[in-house]
Amino acid sequence: MNYPDIQILNQRFGAPGRIAFRAGEAGLPIVSLINTHGSCEVSLYGGHVLAYRPTGHGPVLFVSQKSAFEPGKPIRGGIPVCWPWFGPHPTDPKKDKHGFARLLQWDLDGTEYTGTTTVLRLSLRDSEWTRRLWDHAFRLQLTITLDQFLQLALTVENTDITSFEMSQAFHPYFQIGDIGQSRVFGLDKAPYADKVSGTSAVQEGPLVIGGQVDRIYTPEKNEAAVQDAKLKRAILLTYSGTRNLVVWNPWQEVCRAIPDLGDEEYLKFVCVEPANVRDTAIELEPGSRHTLSMSIQAQLV
């Protein structure tokens, strides 16, 4: 995989003290966004947010110490972009889980900043390689904005002559002090499909995680919060462009079977994911667009 020259990126798109590019592990190009509200890091490979640290807080996102940082493999942690399918491919289990957007080098369209806001714009188009995996023409635009919150917006445009169906998600790994001392709020009275048990139910009160969790919720409001008693912090999440919120933690047995997760790392994260999946998969007509967006904020509690 050919990467853009870091020096040229800094000359064209960098800004002293606000926007800086560097070569990360295996040469992956990484951009840092900084302002008075905090900082974040984004890998151009995968359009993948690696880190977010609001001013006065510790890291909000978890990245596994065993994560691969190499072409053709996903980064484990941060905020992966899952597209054009979420989870296993619906008809071909040999294809990569969660699609191919997180496995490709994204184009850098631009950066900008004001006194309190820093913005990164990325895009991805279909190619001969993507057509072999998913035979449709498309354009993705990913806008990452750092201000009082960390905001992500993924706009999908169907540039084909026929419609296509897609599923998608932002897949944030929220870093927590101890899974046993954390709660997910905003799900009370929400129906959910439990992918572990194969059953459906309705959530009562906050979600307490004491085992493997893989659920698709449909909350009344498009907001949730991860309250972390050990770190004395709450991570607030709002989203639009979907009715579904996936909550995932692999727990001990599954975690130990995942090669790019440490055996005990399940204790340090929970994934709360705005997703269009199953009944909220998107049918996009030629020339149409759809935007999935997410905003993250951290508060001391």
The string of pLDDT tens digits covering residues 43-68 is: 999 999 999 999 999 999 999 999 99
- Total domains in the chain come to 1
pLDDT of residue 2: 81
Confirm whether 191 is domain-assigned: yes
Catalytic annotation, residues: 171, 273
Confirm whether 1 is domain-assigned: no
Percentage with pLDDT > 70 across the chain: 100
Q: Which structural domain, as residue segments, surrounds residue 10?
A: 6-300
Confirm whether 12 is domain-assigned: yes
Confirm whether 32 is domain-assigned: yes
CATH number for the domain spanning 228: value is 2.70.98.10
Confirm whether 71 is domain-assigned: yes
Confirm whether 229 is domain-assigned: yes
Reduced 3-state DSSP string for the chain:
CCCCCHHHHHHHHCECCCEEEEECHHHCEEEEEEECCEEEEEECECCEEEEEEECCCCCCECECCCCCCCCCCCCCECECEEECCCCCCCCCCCCCCCECHHHCECEEEEEEECCCCEEEEEEEECCHHHHHHCCCCEEEEEEEEECCCEEEEEEEEECCCCCEEECEEECCEEECCCHHHEEEECCCCCEEEECCCCEEEECCCCEECCCCEEEEECCCCCEEEEEECCCCEEEEEEEECCCEEEEEECHHHHHHHCCCCCCCHHHHEEEEEEEECHHHCEEECCCCEEEEEEEEEEEEC
The string of pLDDT tens digits covering residues 153-181 is: 999 999 999 999 999 999 999 999 999 99
pTM of the predicted model over 0.85: yes
